[in-house]
Structure 1
Amino acid sequence: MSDNVLKGRGAQKNVHNRFFNDQHETLDEYLNFCEAEGEEAENNKTKYLEVFPKTFVNKVESPDVGMAFSANPYQGCEHGCVYCYARNSHEYWGYGAGLDFERNILYKKNAPKLLEQKITSKNWEGSTIVFSGNTDCYQPLERKLEITRKCLEVMLKWKHPTGIITKNSLILRDLDILKEMAKLNTISVNISITSLSEDTRRLLEPRTASIKQRLKVVKVLSENDIPVRVMMAPIIPSLNSHEILPLVKKVSELGARDMNYTMVRLNGQVAEIFKDWAYKTIPDRAERILNQIAECHGGNLNDSNWGRRMKGDGTIAQQVKDTLAIAKKRYLADRNMPVLDASHYLQLKNPQLRMF
């Protein structure tokens, strides 16, 4: 590992916002002086900024991500996962996809109010809303602000179908709400676990919950009849691809009902961020890993084609697909995730439905 690795962060540098042309370029003589003198020009602290969106629930247009609607209490993510596809979305807020994504967190305190307005609107029909379609709804700031918890209270109040995607054990704080939702079959949880190795986890996801804690989440939720799917997302050739069988075996023992995966794809600015990270943190393996990622996407680090981009193509991608199929057949046979029930919500919203 290089001596100049920025500890506690995934991205190792900022990258230019592609929406800013030369007219928007910011010149700072102080920063330029510090760089020339070899001094640290900026601190590594995380900054938080409240934003005031007019809407909160987003329709998902992509047909291959497994959700129709998502909701994100936070933009940017302090977890710092170096591979995160959501990094590019930070550019729409005027920030960069690199260190800015991890160090400038935007939060939406009005999210619970906007959420209730949406699900009580005249034309809303109770489609499942998934929290964290973009960034993790249980990232560190949630411990203080509890925006996600307040949103879940709204969903429970209206008995509305809800999905959650997270890699943070903070979700166990809200076990009381999740248990009540599970009784109504209105909740399912997706836990992201990319590796069983803490060393790998620290490299890829420096500020996430430990593997031990995430495995605990699978166990505790399962023990409380809250359906859990584990997401091995992403699988990175020669980095964690060898862990598919042992990981599926482990989570099946803890009660997981399903397992899914994505192949890493380095979309937009993420390719530059990932390459910089790889050469600095795993220089002995960087070239091989990057070449194998490209092999999964027709010679490119990214593939934007729907239906192919999430799983990849070619020999390596096929090997991953086959291995996961074997693992699921061996360890997760006869298990499945439930179809969430919208009838409680519909009856609550329109009591006249009870007449039929």
Structure 2
Amino acid sequence: MTDQRDRDVLDVAPTDGVDDYTQGLRTERALARLAAITDPIARVRSADDLAEQARSVQGAIGRVRRQAIYEATLRPGHTGESVAAELGVSAKAVSAAVSESRAQDRQLFRSALEILMRPGVCEVPADQLAPGLRARDVLMQARVVLRGRNSYDISAVSDDEFAVLEEAEDRARYIHRSAGMEPPPLETWRRLLAEKGPDEDRVPDAMRRAAAVFAVLPGIVPLYFDMPDVQDSHPRSGWWRIGWGVLPAEEGARVFDAGPHRDGWATTEYLVWFVRDLARGGYGIWNDLSSPPPFLNEPGECLSFSIEGDLNAEKAITPNEFVRDLRHMWADQNTGFMELDWPELPDADD
């Protein structure tokens, strides 16, 4: 029989928005597991079972499709009739999809608002949340939910109620984006790893070249670029840092669910080796890693890696010199695992 891992491969249907890497990875995983079964009879039966699982995915695809039709009607200026014409489907089909999904959203948002309106839960007055209970406009409900969700006392709700509020907020943000509207920004600690990254306006000038290079490294998300404070007298006053995380294997997923991206893992492996090689050559540079408590954040989204250098070391290396040498080793010495479109960099003369 097909094990749970193969079902996981099939449970999420490929879409046009999923890249070739993701689709290929799913197919390769499933086929590799089948090929690894040495007993030919067991392999035949597993192949039959996997094929049946693939057919069952069609029902899930239908549900995703109906929900997408409904969300298309939430876009400004669009109606059921316009969406039907745009997709080339009947108005009846659109109406059925809208009716089913809207009822689910309204019930979820109502449940969340009933929790938020309870005395002592939310800082927003109940009379300002009440219109969301009565609204037929799902987007209005979503806006009210997000307003209340950002200012409530987590200690005043049960675990089950917290789960409802989390689900309602995630759904409210999702349909805002589907409707072409930007929801209120999440706190940094609650963002998915792929949504994190440094504020470009805050990247120090001395790190601009490093930021440009790290932006093209595959499968990772740069998190910060720090330069030392020249006014600081602390022993670490000469330290610079570059941090990054490995993206999930599938776009829009969490690392905990999809695993780390193959290219990001290989990039991290290469960076760790390269830094260690420089350190063995006597340079004041090293690797580090860190993680906030996963149980207070998102498991799989917490681990980050960093490169740190000491400008006061006997044999110092600057960020500009580091990325210059990294590019030379990866591209010119042909030791990188794939070709990259490197940015043009001037000489690293700090």
Instruction: Give me the TM-score of the superposition, normalised by structure 1.
Output: 0.26
Which structure has the larger Rg?
A: 2
Whichever structure has more strand as a proportion of its residues is 1
Whichever structure has more helix as a proportion of its residues is 2
Q: Which has the higher contact order (CA 8 A, sep 6+)?
A: 1
